[in-house]
Amino acid sequence: MTDALDRLLAIVPAPDEHRRMRSWDEVERTIGVALPCDYKELVHVYGGGNWDDYLHVLEPGCPNDDYDLVAWARNQAEDLEGLWEFERKPVELEAEGARVIPWAVTDNGECLYWLVLPGVAPEGWTVMVNEARGGRWEHFSVSCTRFLAAALEGELRSGVLSSSFPLASHTFRRHRAG
């Protein structure tokens, strides 16, 4: 278990509900890349869900189709390709073969991505945050679970995410069929 996941467990205990087992091989084949181990552990322990009534961690095969990782990855890749025709790419994405893959979204429409760079293993992927309906991006040189733990503890602040995130008293709710 990663230090960041241990931090999350100290912030919000994991739900006692049965955890679904999944075939990561099929998910990764569909997306076209291996996913970071810290994300797989996060989903194994918590499942996809809503943190502090705001941030939704995506999950492959999510019971609520609105938060399915595979669908978001496919749709965002298409949407961003169209967007780059009209807006400038963030400097982090200008390298040949660079791309982003979503791992979380917010109630306001912001999207949190992994920054995937050629030659960088999934354990080295960092986080990019894109504002809803806008061209503002932020880059954080941390993994997704480290980002989540640091954001919940107030150690990391984003100018894109809502100023009301995180809440003073943290919550987590698993996604249900919607």
DSSP string, 13-63: PPP-SPPPP--HHHHHHHHTSPPPHHHHHHHHHH-SEEETTTEEE-BTT-S
pLDDT per position as a tens digit, 57-102: 999 999 899 999 999 999 887 777 777 777 788 999 888 999 999 9
Question: What are the structural domains of the chain?
Answer: 3-155 (3.40.1580)
pLDDT per position as a tens digit, 142-154: 999 999 999 999 9
